[in-house]
Amino acid sequence: MRYLSTRGGMAPLPFCETVLMGLAPDGGLLLPERYPRIDRATLDAWRGLGYAELAFEIIRLFADDIPADDLKGIVSRAYRAEVFGSEAIAPLKRLHDGLAILGLSNGPTLAFKDMAMQFLGQLFEYVLDKRGETLNILGATSGDTGSAAEYAMRGKRGINVFMLSPDGKMSAFQRAQMYSLQDENIHNIAIQGMFDDCQDIVKAVQNDHAFKARRKIGTVNSINWARVVAQVVYYFHGYFRATASNDEQVSFCVPSGNFGNVCAGHVARQMGLPVERLIVATNENDVLDEFFRTGRYAPRGSERTYVTSSPSMDISKASNFERFVFDLMGRDGEAVKRLWSEVDAGGGFQLDAETMGRVRDAFGFVSGKSAHADRIATIRQVDAEDGVVVDTHTADGIKVARELRREGETVVCLETALPAKFAETIREALDREPPRPAGFEALESLPQRVVMLPADAGQVKALIEKTLG
């Protein structure tokens, strides 16, 4: 299996050559030359597997340059009951109306990002050890990627993490999870701006090829293909848990900001998983919803990005959206390059009705949006009717899923995080504190370590230089 760039300017590379890369040299994102196709016999054989076993079977199709025994070791270390709280790893529960929630937030940082990041931590350490190299990770987070990456990479040999986050835009819990880490290889940088500013800095540094090569800069954002691959696994797992046989179809509703989570669902569907529809749920920052409704993709810039009560989705430029558009445009790298030149120039693009018909009919995408009043109402409703407290982003997904669900359609909502991470909104909705797992009782009172910088790639590079010496 070899990998190419969505913008067509990179010679195909094997998996391990892409793991440490981040963006392709031409500024595009990496995708496999083809998606592996899963036949019915394979689907039947996978149905009874545990999570780590399933992860091995799926990831080996994309990472065929890692010896099987080595890959088994990587996934078995990543997906352990000790890390995720139970052998189930990602349990599924049903609400009274049949809507299912796939529990993806049982890892060390209580968010779905742990599902991929625990794998990525083990994978990075393995690849670096084999190559005798070091890696300096530069990432951006709107709330959950940062802590998941830092907890997965803390203490790892040969790895430093520099994590950008928008100053004052995350919940107190999210900030404390990141900024309280005292590990020498973890460096938090609060950027005066929005998540999109942080993401733009990461891309600017990635595109400074001399600096990137000299300082061994990699990324853990979902622009890293290995992270998307790891997320593909829980779509298969969720499908098996939500169905009695492989004759059934399932739709997934995915709270979406940067499009990485639902992009993994797109890959699973292209592989042959019986997915009826992929339902994209946005918050007030509804650029993706606007696209799926109208064909217009127009990022609004940080100055017009709303600060909301589902902050991990306060994103206007959805990085992984480029991967889907590459497939939509028949894998024409030049076409994608033209479209993103319009985006990078501060504009956007409009796709025609015929193309948008294929978005719905050939690729199964639909979308909806949720605002603050909607998520408050949904949190109250789910608590009252099912005795389940959900976080704000998962509430957005449930609201949109209920709005768009067809009669007889099995819909699985992907849980985004545990409600403890968004206590202020939970208190507003339920007039009580959300349940908080053991070990997190005094998190916000721990000493915090963070550096403040303006939204300037040059200053971030200077800080990296100073830190590394």
Q: What is the C-alpha separation between 86 and 63, in angstroms, rounded?
A: 27
CA 151 to CA 16: how far, in whole Å?
Answer: 23
Q: Which of 424, 468, 452, 459 is nearest to 160 (CA)?
A: 468
Distance of CA 207 to the CA centre of its chain: 22
Cβ contacts of 357 within 8 Å, gap of 6 or more: none
| Catalytic-role residue among 113, 369, 421, 461 | 113
- CA atoms of 11 and 4, how far apart (whole Å): 7
Please say if 113 is a catalytic residue.
yes
* Residue among 286, 314, 298 at smallest CA distance from 370: 286
Which residue, 449, 444, 447, is CA-closest to 187? 449
Beta bridge partners of 296: 350
Q: Which residues are catalytic?
A: 113
